[in-house]
Amino acid sequence: MRNAKVKKSNKILAAITAAMLAVTIGGTGVTAFANNNSDTYECFSFSGENTSRSDFRHKDDISSCWCNCYNSSNSDAGFYIEVYGTSEYNNTSGSYCGHKSYYFSEDTTWYMWNVVYETYGDCDYTAAYLIASPQGSIYDDFDCWWSPDNGSGITWDEER
């Protein structure tokens, strides 16, 4: 009987220890992937040689930004996206935080590597936004979904 009580108290002690460990780790600033991975609709619209900017979104982890172009007014046209970061909470001041321009056309999906969440130079960027540039002089619209974080935990470039 005493042995059963000791085993039960050991299980309770183990559960309490595990709970305390979880609280301790949670309080260290370790961020789980994809806290902010809900998708936002964005229409990138081009009228010749212009660029188009997304709204900014808060970035919660080091995962790659995700974008899917699912529809366009011209399925033969394309455009490029670059990832920018800002601490100003707007999409007019910020810095390039990616490592390349990603080519999009209808039915294209990219996970886009960036350093928005990480410290970039002397600035800490807390929000991401996308700048889209047309391929040539086009007059087309592109319907996209995007997120500053992704639910897959991908931290590199990947086209799907």
| Count of C-beta atoms within a 10 Å radius of residue 19 | 10
**Backbone angles phi and psi of 80, in degrees to 5:** -120, 145
Among 50, 91, 74, smallest CA distance to 141 is for 74
For residue range 16-35, list pLDDT tens digits in order. 444 443 333 333 333 444 45
Q: Is 134 helix (H, G, I), strand (E, B) or coil?
A: strand
Among 63, 33, 45, 62, smallest CA distance to 54 is for 45
Q: Is 138 a residue whose pLDDT tops 80?
A: yes
Residue 6 identity (one-letter amino acid): V
Round to whole Å and give the CA distance between 62 and 155.
Answer: 7
Of 7-11, 91-95, 140-144, minimum mean pLDDT range: 7-11
For residue range 43-69, list pLDDT tens digits in order. 999 998 899 999 999 988 999 999 999
Give the pLDDT of residue 99: 85
